[in-house]
């Protein structure tokens, strides 16, 4: 079976968490919208066609045979089961998903540093608010989240090299993406923060060195970070 991934073609965004899982799984997939013209008919079909019985609210969504699966964490729950990227026992599956959902919460907070008032407004129309929100995020929220995940690594009974057990899970892949994105968006804050979170930095490097991930990151399939995605580098937000 060939998976069909549907996501905006010009950004990493939430789709990137799915791309990383598909790549590490060695799965056959087509990144549909990147092959389409400007109108994105395939992507839009599932959002706009009233005949779709179980429509997604927003991209990304993944077509897997007859299944159409939306919500990033839900897609990763599915892929984790299918491709051995999560433990097979109930406790391990739930714990992996719990971490993924906590990463998803952090993704929202990162997004809202540049869009604190409205996702449909331009950044330029909410700059003063973005400065306040980003300052609060860097002072309070980022340390709380990073400290939490560093503790998860430190307390892992199977060792501090993975978030769950002693093999790569979707949570590890997503944490790699989080660290990479935070470095791009907030280089000054991360330069300071990384000194306090050596296990997270080591996890990032370990994932980046996985053969399939390394090949992906060096390929044209990896869209560069850019000022349209979730992780945005606005120097004024990381003074």
Residue 29, strand partner residues:
3
How far from 67 is each of 99, 122, 193, 207, CA to CA, in Å? 24, 35, 41, 29
Rounded to a whole number of angstroms, the minimum distance from the CB of residue 225 to a second copy is 23
Q: CB of 134: closest distance to a second copy in angstroms?
A: 10
**How does strand 3-6 pair with strand 61-64?**
antiparallel
Would you say 155 or 195 has its CB closer to a second copy? Answer: 155
Residue with Cβ nearer a second copy (97 or 204) = 97
Rounded to the nearest whole angstrom, what is the least distance from the CB of residue 160 to a second copy in the complex? 12
| Residue 219 beta carbon to a second copy: minimum distance, rounded to whole angstroms | 29
To the nearest whole angstrom, how small is the minimum distance from the Cβ of residue 109 to a second copy?
Answer: 9
Smallest gap from Cβ 115 to a second copy, in A, equals 10
Cα–Cα dist 73/79, whole Å: 10
Q: Which is nearer to a second copy, 120 or 211 (CB)?
A: 120
CA distances, 161 to each of 81, 121, 227, 237 (Å) = 21, 40, 32, 32
For the chain, the straight-line distance linking the first and the last C-alpha, in angstroms and rounded, comes to 48
Least spacing, CB of residue 82 vs a second copy, in Å: 10
Choose between 57 and 219: whose C-beta lies nearer to a second copy.
57
Pairing of strands 29-31, 3-6: parallel
User: CB-hemisphere CA count at 13 Å for 173?
Assistant: 33
Nearer to a second copy, 33 or 64 (CB): 64
Cβ closer to a second copy: 163 or 168? Answer: 163
CB-based contacts of 185, cutoff 8 Å, min separation 6: 110, 113, 225, 231, 232, 233, 237, 238
Residues in contact with a second copy by the rule CB under 8 A: 50, 52-57, 66-67, 69-71, 73-74, 77-78, 90-91, 94-95, 97-98, 101-102, 105, 108, 112, 116-121, 126, 129, 132-133, 136-137, 140-141, 145, 148, 151-152, 155-157
State which residue, 121 or 208, has the beta carbon closest to a second copy.
121
Dihedral sign from CA coordinates of 125, 127, 129, 133:
positive
């Amino acid at each position: 079976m060939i998976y069909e991934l549907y996501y905006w073609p010009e950004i990493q965004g939430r789709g990137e968490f799915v791309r990383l899982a598909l790549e590490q799984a060695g799965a056959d997939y087509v990144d549909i919208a990147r092959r389409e013209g400007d109108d994105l008919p395939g992507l839009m079909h599932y959002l706009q066609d009233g005949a779709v019985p179980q429509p997604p609210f927003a991209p990304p969504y993944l077509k897997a045979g007859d299944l159409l699966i939306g919500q990033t964490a839900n897609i990763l729950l599915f892929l984790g089961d299918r491709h051995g990227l999560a433990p097979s026992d109930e406790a391990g599956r739930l714990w992996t998903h719990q971490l993924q959902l906590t990463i998803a919460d952090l993704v929202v907070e990162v997004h809202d540093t540049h869009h604190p008032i409205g996702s449909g407004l331009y950044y330029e129309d909410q700059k003063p608010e973005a400065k306040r929100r980003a300052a609060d995020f860097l002072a309070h929220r980022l340390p709380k989240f990073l400290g939490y995940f560093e503790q998860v690594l430190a307390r892992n009974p199977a060792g501090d090299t993975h978030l769950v057990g002693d093999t790569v899970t979707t949570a590890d892949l997503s944490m790699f993406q989080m660290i990479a994105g935070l470095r791009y968006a907030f280089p000054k804050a991360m330069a300071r923060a990384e000194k306090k979170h050596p296990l997270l930095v080591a996890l990032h490097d370990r994932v980046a060195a996985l053969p399939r991930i390394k090949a992906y990151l060096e390929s044209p399939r990896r869209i560069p970070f850019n000022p349209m995605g979730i992780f945005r580098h606005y120097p004024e937000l990381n003074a």
